[in-house]
Structure 1
Amino acid sequence: MKTFLWSVTGVFALLWSGLAWAAASLVRWTVEALSTGRATELGKAAVEFKFPAWAEPFLDTGLLELLQSFVRWLMEIAGTGAPMAGTAIGWLVPVVWITWAFGLTVLVVIALLLHHLIKSLPRTGGGTATATR
């Protein structure tokens, strides 16, 4: 049972670490794209993109127009915040890793408590019992 507990804890720790790595990479890429202006170019391309006429019967054009207007709105907001985006990477990535460390600590503490609980449970005779007559 203890082996199973620590195996599950290890899998969750790997998943949590992978999520933190992906979040830190996404934050770094987003901040760099905002500060260099690449995000604005990508947003303009997304807003100006037109689907081919043959694909329109298969797509919900109202939803696509809503999505494009949302991207347009995000680009307007990003344009005003782009100059300070470069300084955000200095504290956003460490926040991701501090959150990772806190989450991993909570995971290990829970595993330790469960380990102690499993250890303190009374053992049952799991072997073969011989009946006396």
Structure 2
Amino acid sequence: MKTFLWSVAGLFALLWSGLAWAAASLVRWTVEALSTGQAVELGKAATEFKFPAWVEPFLDTGLLTMLQGFVQWLLEIAGNGAPMAGAAVGWLVPVVWIVWAVGLTVLLGIAVVLHYLVKSLPRTEARLA
């Protein structure tokens, strides 16, 4: 039971670490894209994208138009904060890793508590006659 407990805790720790790595990479990429202006170009391409005619019967075009408008609005707002974006990477990525460390500590703490709870359970061993 203890082996299973620690295996599950290890799996969750790996998933949590992968999520933190992906979040830190995404934050770094987003901030760099905003500060260099690449996000505006990408947003323009996203709002001007037209789906092929054969896909339109399967898609809600009203929803897609609304999403494209939303992306354009977000990029206009983000464009105003682009000069500050370069400074944000200096503290946003460490915040991601601090949250990762706190989450991993909580995960390991829960695993230790469960380990001692499992250890304190009375053993039921089948005795052969």
Instruction: Name the CA distance, whole Å, in 1 between partners of 2:117 and 2:52.
Output: 62
Instruction: Name the CA distance, whole Å, in 1 between partners of 2:88 and 2:62.
Output: 35
* Partner of residue 11, structure 2: 11
Q: Mind listing any 5+ residue stretches in structure 1 that lack a counterpart? A: none
* Partner of residue 75, structure 2: 75
- C-alpha displacement at 1:49, in angstroms? 1.3
Percent identity between matched residues is 79
Q: TM-score, normalization: structure 1?
A: 0.93
- C-alpha displacement at 1:35, in angstroms? 0.3
Instruction: Name the CA distance, whole Å, in 1 between partners of 2:53 and 2:120.
Output: 68
1:83-122 → structure 2 map (5 Å cutoff): 83-122=83-122
Letter of the structure 2 residue corresponding to residue 33 of structure 1: A
* RMSD of aligned alpha carbons: 1.0
| Secondary structure of the corresponding residue to residue 51 of structure 2 | coil
Instruction: Name the CA distance, whole Å, in 2 between partners of 1:96 and 1:127.
Output: 52
Structure of higher CA gyration radius? 1
| Secondary structure of the corresponding residue to residue 53 of structure 1 | coil
| Secondary structure of the corresponding residue to residue 54 of structure 1 | coil
Instruction: Name the CA distance, whole Å, in 1 between partners of 2:58 and 2:4.
Output: 48
Letter of the structure 2 residue corresponding to residue 44 of structure 1: K
Q: TM-score, normalization: structure 2?
A: 0.95
* Partner of residue 22, structure 1: 22
- C-alpha displacement at 1:54, in angstroms? 3.2
* Partner of residue 38, structure 1: 38
